[in-house]
Structures are given as structure tokens and as C-alpha cells.
Structure 1
Amino acid sequence: MVEYRVEPDGIFKALSDPTRRKMIESLSEADQTIGQLAKPHAISFAAASKHVGVLEKAGVVTRRKRGRERVCSLNPAGLLAARDWVERYSVFWSQRLDALDAALKEDGDE
């Protein structure tokens, strides 16, 4: 089994665009062709294909041929790298917020 190491930079770049985020939302419901992904955004096939390329490079989407069409599928494993990166810092923020809570309670007791 081949494991791909997905870099968070590519994922966050892919997620930074609202059109690509909407495409991910659509793909979470069902596989779609590039034309289907383009339609709700009123963008050209070429523009949609470029967006899909960014998502594909980030490891979030896979593309396969079905006859003359290109069908896109969501690769949820690709989003795990972003989740893992954010989760690493959630411990930090939880500790900071707990410390703030304790300090505020201490100030309130005086």
C-alpha cells in the first residue's frame, strides 16, 4: 500500500478559495463531473478544471475517466492532514483558555 504524505500548505491553499470549498461540499454528497461542479458557480469548464486540479494536487479530490468525462471524487483522507494540523494546536488553545478561566476566577474571588 502506498501512503501519500499530504502537506498542510497545499490543503490550506485549496481550502482558501470559496469556490473550491463549495466543490468539496458538493463532492461530499456525490461524485460529480467537472461540468457538474462548474454549473452552480457559473464558471467555465476550464476554470472548474483548474480548481479541481488544485484540489487534486492537495490530495483532497481524485479524478478518473468515465468515457469522455472526468469524474471527481472526494478523498476525505486528504483532509485529515489539515484536521491533524489544527488539532495539534487545539491542545495549546485549550490550555491557554483554561489558564485564562482560572485567572479570571481568581480575580473574581478578591
Structure 2
Amino acid sequence: AVDKAEQESESALKTNAHSVGEMAAWCERNGKQLISISTDYVFDGKGTAPYTVQHPTDPLNYYGYSKWLGEQLIKENHPKGIVVRTSWVYSTHGNNFVRTMLRLMK
């Protein structure tokens, strides 16, 4: 999905930003709570310490930009919306946090 966002930028914006903004607006109108999963790709990747909420965003690539824009649309449309930024969590293939921890425990 990350690499595909570079080639399919319109689709990335539709999925990661515009649809999220629409869901945020719907939640605001209907008194519901939105919790959105974002990514550490909203940062520039140059940090040497864990990022905090106060750390300035500077998207790493187009995928990061599309997720960042989704975060902004949540703030605009549903101020009480919650954004959770994750990184390297889980996948059925490749290296990720869960697989690495399982491998290291063996």
C-alpha cells in the first residue's frame, strides 16, 4: 500500500484522506466517536527518539502525505476524533514488529 500510493496518488488521497474526512463529518453530525489509524510516515523519518504528539509533521512520502491530510480532515470535521499513529505493527509477510519479537523469543 505504501509503494502503491506513489503510483496511484488519486486512489491514495481518496482512501486515506477524503473518505476519512467524510467519516469524520458523519461522526460529528451523528454524535459518534471516530478512531482513525494513521502512520509514522507523517514524519520525515529523521528522528532519533520516539515521536511525540508535539513533534512537527513532515510527510516522508506520498503515502505519508495522504495519511497526514486525513488527519487534518479529522481535526476540521470532528475535533474530538482520535488519531492513533502506529508503525511497523503487523503483516502476514516481511519483517514487522510481531514477527521480529516472535523470532527473537525462539
Normalising to structure 2: TM-score of the pair? 0.26
User: Looking at both structures, which has the greater relative contact order when contacts are Cα pairs under 8 Å and sequence separation is at least 6?
Assistant: 2
| Higher Rg of the two aligned structures | 1
Scaled by the length of structure 1, what TM-score is found? 0.25
Richer in helix (by share):
1
